[in-house]
Structure 1
Amino acid sequence: MKYLGCIAGVFAATMATAETPELIVYTYDSFVSDWGPGPAVEKAFEAECACDLKFVGAGDGAALLARIKLEGARTDADVVLGLDTNLTAGAMETGLFAPHSVSAEYSLPIEWNDENFVPYDWGYFAFVHKNGLDAPDSLKALGESDLKIVIQDPRSSTPGLGLLMWVKAAYGDESSAIWESLSDNIVTVTKGWSEAYGLFLEGEADMVLSYTTSPAYHLIAEEDAGYAAAAFEEGHYLQIEVAGKLASSDQPELADRFLAFIVGEGFQTIIPTTNWMYPAVTPADGLPKGFETLVLPEKSLLVPAADAVAVRDAALAEWLIALSK
């Protein structure tokens, strides 16, 4: 009888597991890290969805699109979280993404009306440094300095791609000359943001490509006010990170529910002090103390999503030539 009871228990547990829907979300590695938003988001969503939310780290942001292209309609992913407006047009060209029905009162710097992608946070790219450094006030001045910098590869990293677009948006036809000047400053190019920021913290470089919000991490999480983002006179490039549903998802209703969840309080309150970005929808209690100390760019730069593919291809060619010299 005990043996039969054991079998019945295993059978019941197996049935319960089989009946629990699973939602697979591809995202970037730092999102699913112990210190990233992933663990808290998973707990919050599972508390209301009666499902199993499974995050899968797929490198850095730009690597997500490459993986989805490779897997195609055979992908296990239901949702991709971590693309940005530099990648959304390319993502739509794949024919793999489906429209959403999410609406929200966004607190983004621009109007949002994309029917396929839902924004969940935003920020400005910047070069972060320790206080006490005589920081340059422009990309051109940075290239003319002797400062050592670490950047990310634009083919795998959204910050790396963001820097390409930043230089192109700010300098246009002069961008090749800017890259030639910056090439002497670059210590190394990493695959993703985490590796680059780690090298900076280890003292391998004077500045690192990151975000104007990065100093908030040191201030709030470490109680260290010793970091700052350099304000550049030509402006800073805006990043809006988004999530999208795969048309091939076998959990389309659950995917829709997750997309709606990410613009709600349960998700948005997690973002500022885990992903260290501005939330796409400002929480009812506002931003955490410390965010008011951050650099606010006087000029915002952004290549329209529809133009991003063409601009990216031209900018990438310039970047490769400059760094090969």
Structure 2
Amino acid sequence: MVKSTSLALAVFAGLLAAPAFAQDVPNLKIYTYDGFAAEWGPGPGLKAGFEAICKCTVDFVAADSSIGTLRRVQLEGATTEADLIVGLDTAIAGEARDTGLFAEHNFYFDELTLPYGWTDKNFVPFDYAHFAFVYDSDKVANPPKSFEELIAMPDDFKIVIQDPRSATPGLGLVLWIKAAYGDRAPEIWAGLKPHILTVTREWSESYNLFLEGEADMALSYTTSPAYHIVEEDDDTIKAALFTEGHFAQTEVAGVLRSSKHQELAFQFLDYLTSADAQKIIPTTNWMFPVIDLGYELNPAFGTLPQPEKTLTLPEAEIEANSAAWIDEMLKAIQ
């Protein structure tokens, strides 16, 4: 009887203590885009990996795009519940920094494998790839090797692209053409107009149109073929390399000044660039890691041809002119 009573009291005490213990565990809230947080994306693996070492819980809150995550935190301001954003990219990093909502970090980046150096004090990179048009080599035997060759294709050769106001690849294409052609950009856009089947709001819409055979090429990434190789054992989807060079997208993460768990948020950034986290990203987000994974990188990525030239634009120039460049593009293709 004494043992039973003691056990009952211990169980009762445990039940009382459980809610208090749960409340003591910090919850890290991360804003990101829907593909990152999806069950097939890197979010679940990163959540499990970080929770195993942080004595915390992680919640990903998804928007329809990385641009959407920035707009949401801009609306919420200092009252946002988010501790950090994962999935902004270098095209909108300047705008994000100018909001004043992001804290500075103290990380060093001497082991990154990006195609260019990294010194940003607000944002930490976690993956990258170059923008490219992908095609099915069974259907397109001789893909264009430049924007000018694409323009010269018959008018029934169609491409699908994304809206730069809502999708980061769409904005990336605007920057790519501007970096390659400068003041000739409106001429290039006008030349592309007959080939543009449609401009979709998000990447997934246009990529699905391409996979369904509605278009000959889709704006995507040099790493997109890796998905088809790994998941479908299909090596017919390829990225067309252009002689002008390609613009790179680097995805970044940043901690919000208003975070109630800043130390924990910075620990997540540190984890995000660790080997344990980086080996999750390539075959879930289908981008290159930012560190050398050696044999742990799926060999499919080693088979992907990469541009010989990486195009860039100064961040200040992007921030000052991107709205005008988008208007320039829309005017040319409408």
Residue 99 (structure 2) aligned to one of 87, 90, 94: 94
After TM superposition, the runs of 4+ consecutive aligned structure 1 residues lying more than 4 A away are 1-10
Residue 83 (structure 1) aligned to one of 61, 76, 88: 88
Superposed displacement of residue 94, structure 1: 0.5
Instruction: Tell me the equivalent position of 1:162.
Output: 172
Distance 1:32 1:193 in 2: 16
Superposed displacement of residue 129, structure 1: 0.9
Instruction: Tell me the equivalent position of 1:303.
Output: 313
Using the size of structure 2 for normalisation, the TM-score is 0.92
Superposed displacement of residue 144, structure 1: 2.9
Instruction: Tell me the equivalent position of 2:61.
Output: 56
Superposed displacement of residue 140, structure 1: 2.1
Q: Which protein has the bigger helix share? A: 2
For residue 217 of structure 2, what is the amino acid of its counterpart?
A: M
Instruction: Tell me the equivalent position of 1:279.
Output: 289
Superposed displacement of residue 204, structure 1: 2.1
Please, which moves more after superposition, 64-73 or 229-238? Answer: 64-73
Please, which moves more after superposition, 138-147 or 13-22? Answer: 138-147
Using the size of structure 1 for normalisation, the TM-score is 0.94
Residue 149 (structure 1) aligned to one of 159, 178, 188: 159
Please, which moves more after superposition, 137-146 or 52-61? Answer: 137-146
Please, which moves more after superposition, 174-183 or 12-21? Answer: 12-21
Superposed displacement of residue 232, structure 1: 0.6
Instruction: Tell me the equivalent position of 2:196.
Output: 186
How much is the aligned-residue C-alpha RMSD, in angstroms? 1.9
Superposed displacement of residue 109, structure 1: 0.9
Superposed displacement of residue 15, structure 1: 1.6
Distance 1:79 1:220 in 2: 31
What residue ranges of structure 2 are gaps of 5+ in the alignment?
A: none
Contact 1:30/1:36 (CA < 8 Å) preserved in 2?
Answer: yes
Superposed displacement of residue 7, structure 1: 6.8
1:115 partnered with 2:104: no
Q: Matched residue of 1:273: which SS?
A: helix
Residue 263 (structure 1) aligned to one of 263, 266, 273: 273
| Structure number with larger C-alpha Rg | 2
For residue 113 of structure 1, what is the amino acid of its counterpart?
A: T
Distance 1:288 1:225 in 2: 15
Superposed displacement of residue 216, structure 1: 0.7
Instruction: Tell me the equivalent position of 2:222.
Output: 212
Please, which moves more after superposition, 262-271 or 281-290? Answer: 281-290
For residue 14 of structure 1, what is the amino acid of its counterpart?
A: P
1:231 partnered with 2:237: no
Residue 197 (structure 1) aligned to one of 207, 211, 219: 207
Distance 2:75 2:208 in 1: 29
Q: Matched residue of 2:194: which SS?
A: coil
1:315 partnered with 2:328: no
Q: Matched residue of 1:274: which SS?
A: helix
Superposed displacement of residue 143, structure 1: 2.5
Superposed displacement of residue 298, structure 1: 1.4
Distance 2:25 2:15 in 1: 16
Q: Matched residue of 2:228: which SS?
A: helix
Q: Matched residue of 2:169: which SS?
A: helix
What residue ranges of structure 1 are gaps of 5+ in the alignment?
A: none
Residue 46 (structure 1) aligned to one of 47, 51, 73: 51
Q: Matched residue of 1:188: which SS?
A: strand
Superposed displacement of residue 3, structure 1: 10
Cα shift readout 1:49-97 (whole Å, capped 9, x = no counterpart): 1111111111112222222212211111111111111111111110100
Superposed displacement of residue 304, structure 1: 2.0
Distance 2:182 2:84 in 1: 35
For residue 177 of structure 1, what is the amino acid of its counterpart?
A: E
For residue 22 of structure 1, what is the amino acid of its counterpart?
A: N
Superposed displacement of residue 5, structure 1: 8.3
For residue 127 of structure 2, what is the amino acid of its counterpart?
A: D
Superposed displacement of residue 189, structure 1: 1.8
Q: Matched residue of 2:285: which SS?
A: coil
Instruction: Tell me the equivalent position of 2:185.
Output: 175
Superposed displacement of residue 10, structure 1: 4.8
Instruction: Tell me the equivalent position of 1:27.
Output: 32
